Amino acid sequence: MSKYSIKLNGKKHQVDVASDTPLLWVIRDEIGMTGTKFGCGMGLCGACTVLLNGNPIRSCSTPISSIKPDDKLLSIEGLSANTNHPVQLAWIKEQVPQCGYCQSGQILAVAALLDSNPNPSDQDIDTALAGNICRCGTYQDMRKAIHAAAK
């Protein structure tokens, strides 16, 4: 076990875990934020997506030892402080979620996309979300919501 300091959603946390502990389990089990989901555990589905310095990463395959104390981590709980983020509002308006399991990862990936590309094409969206799988097949509704959030 080793001590690690991480900054999640603007707040510092100290954890004492093995160096190869995936960030996903630090966020869920050590810090207690369960909006980040476990899907495949192999970096393939995107359910565990969080943002590291604004970029989507797979927290299931990111060891805690690779996170620096100054890195800014964002999970779905930190996307908006007191009100919904524009992506979340568009998600609600377009009624995107079905089972909802993948949606926190999808929404964070979309927030990162719109930060770097405020008016993405369908192709841009498909490319950015290619690693985020939705077993309910909400891809068309997500596209509609992303275009709405981009306005």
**Other residues' Cβ atoms within 10 Å of the Cβ of residue 105:** 29
- Identify which of 133, 111, 148, 113 has the alpha carbon closest to the alpha carbon of residue 48: 133
**Are 109 and 56 within 8 A, CB to CB?**
yes
Nearer to ligand FES, 46 or 120 (CB): 46
Binding site for ligand FES (CB under 6 A): 38-41, 43-48, 58, 60
Beta bridge pairs of residue 50: 57
Q: How far is the CB of 150 from ligand FES (least distance, A)?
A: 25
144 Cβ contact list (under 8 Å, min separation 6): 94
Based on CB atoms, which residue is closest to ligand FES, 44 or 92? Answer: 44
Query: What is the smallest separation between the CB atom of 89 and ligand FES, expressed in angstroms?
Result: 26
When the beta carbons of 133 and 148 are compared against ligand FES, the nearer one is 133
| Position of minimal CB gap to ligand FES | 60
* Least CB distance to ligand FES at residue 27 (A): 12
